[in-house]
Structure 1
């Protein structure tokens, strides 16, 4: 039996965008044992994935963490490792772990640690991140990357569904009325975040136009931002913030009619769960990380914002946040109109 390890990306959104890699490996090596390896944030994304046999959750903060993982890799005796992060460390772990076949991009001076280094071309620098991860496998004869399906796989657990059912009941949120969510944060950094007062106006618009029950969701460190938006909004909103775990957010998406986000992990969760979605972009290039859902709406004005360095990919804006300020409330409202029509079609009804 072939044993395959997949070292997953570090960010939640990137792990979601890498799930087609797991599906392709499963289709290509039907009898293999596939182990996904990721940080703690990967647990909710991968614990119910049908294409893996086991999930290792590891910490990689210290030398001791790395040595523990190397020892575990040696004991498992993998035949093949697909290394999706570009880091030197991820290649070193499997080289020291004596995995005989190690594939990944020739980045971060790690080519000598890979048995099958994949050269980075102009295509890799411009393609969507889903394509980027899929093409790590392009040199494997068993994997037909060109013909493979590219569908994000994300499935909530029954425990997460119960968590969300209980939360909605406690908060007095009714499933017979539209439920919308706003995710105003971004783990990457504040440069990706649209203005709180504009998110509040969108919450008001959703409540007035659609009688939507709007939830403000975010990670624990985004709790103050969620509360700020709730205080700015004139319509009633539910600032549930960190009351929802990542697994709970996946389950919550089954209940949502609509989500508005920045370019963040919640955006990729919503895209994978096929939630009607509006995503606001500024310092990052939507060609590379836009929601992997052809029906999702992306709102941006990167070329017209007047910033010479946009998209800059900086975590904190070095000037005046003009790429995000260039996105107006009416721009987002127009995108919401399109997505609510999609929600109505999905529900078998129509908006007024």
Structure 2
């Protein structure tokens, strides 16, 4: 394994074409967007492509940092056909460097095959030292947050990792359509809060519950913020409707009614946001809104959205080993959430 390289700008200028690989979930990609920002700034003269899976390529469809989005199904596609397509892409594009921010068995296997058939570039790096990567990143501490793990690959290239929040780009049409949506519902800037009561079906144990969210809405109203917006995905419509009914007057339920890139625009106009640990929270963190994230049995130190105006609240991890997750999450009270949010103003 070679030592890390690209200690200076002269080395970076020799790299003309780069492929960044990151599949994963929406939350994973949003966190990685901060590292992508640092990589793009470092290799400012290079042509940079992003290899991403649908539907999350829509997060980057207006992103000026990437000359091309290499969109293809990898993880759930037939192994042979996806490998052939991926290797064909490498042959055609002739990259100088691959930055593998995925770094799992699938990406390692694909790059190994590419090397065997002489389709891989000479230089490649991932988040940890391993075959078939030619370059070696620095080690990160055990139990690190996902952002620190991802930064390891960038640091191995001499990149200064300074970006501390998600970097997501949207176009003027998204800006205008979101403004119209807020006006339609009479939502004034900094006069409403956002509640995100859902999570993916596989992450149902990470939900704070509609009882707590409705109590949170009541507490916000007592503090003078009487309007609230409920956000979520299409698979959370029933859950959001249940919460909207409990809250009653002043609520706007936009669950399943927004495009991905409208979420940070809405969040930018909100006074506060309270969410479960979900992709929506990661995406909204790009807006720098004061946000409290209620975490379930996953260690908050490893998964919380990045940003200086994000706070994670969680019951002691020992609780989740002894009691049902719902009971543990209920130990976080609306009053605790409000106190944490006040410190972020």
Instruction: Please report the TM-score for the alignment, with normalisation by the length of structure 2.
Output: 0.84
Deviation by residue 1:276-315 (Cα, 9 ceiling, x = unmatched): 1111112122222223222322222224x63337xxxxxx
Partner of residue 139 from structure 1, selected from 153, 156, 179: 156
Aligned length: 322
Residues 1:93 and 2:110 aligned together: yes
Change over 3 Å in CA distance of 1:151–1:300 after alignment to 2: closer
- 8 A Cα contact 1:103 1:115, kept in partner: yes
Structure 1 segments unaligned to the other structure (5+ residues):
310-317, 343-352
Separation in 2, partners of 1:177, 1:128: 30
Contact in 2 for aligned 1:8/1:15 (Cα 8 Å) = yes
Verify: 1:284 aligned to 2:301, yes or no.
no
Q: Give, in whole Å, the separation in 2 of the partners of 1:127 and 1:261.
A: 22
User: Residues 317-347 of structure 1: CA distance to partner in whole angstroms, max 9, x if unpaired?
Assistant: x9453331221222223234444xx1xxxxx
Query: Which SS does the other structure have where 1:253 is aligned?
Result: helix
**Map of 1:1-352 to 2, 5 A cutoff?**
2-60=16-74, 61-63=76-78, 64-97=81-114, 98-100=119-121, 101-106=123-128, 111-116=130-135, 118=137, 123-140=140-157, 143-145=158-160, 148-170=162-184, 172-175=185-188, 178-187=191-200, 189-303=203-317, 306-308=319-321, 319-339=324-344, 342=345
| Contact 1:13/1:265 (<8 A) preserved | yes
Q: CA deviation at 1:4?
A: 0.6
Residue 296 of structure 2 aligns to a residue whose secondary structure is coil
Conserved? CA contact 2:124–2:135, under 8 Å = yes
Q: Give the RMSD, CA atoms, in angstroms.
A: 2.5
Higher relative contact order (CA 8 A, sep 6+): 2
Equivalent residue for 1:347? none
Q: Provide runs of 4+ in structure 1 moved above 4 Å.
A: none
Does the residue aligned with 1:116 lie in a helix, a strand or coil? coil
Does 149-158 or 221-230 show the bigger shift? 149-158
Q: Which runs of 5+ in 2 are unaligned?
A: 1-14
Contact 2:208 2:276 in 1 (8 A): yes
- Normalization by structure 1: what TM-score? 0.82
Give, in whole Å, the separation in 2 of the partners of 1:297 and 1:169. Answer: 29
- Mean Cα deviation higher: 33-42 or 289-298: 289-298
Distance in 2 (CA, whole Å) between partners of 1:137 and 1:28 is 9
Deviations 1:107-132 (A, max 9, x none): 8xxx333333558x5x3432222121
Q: Secondary structure at the match of 1:103?
A: strand
1:26-48 CA distance string (max 9 Å, x none): 23323211101112243343233
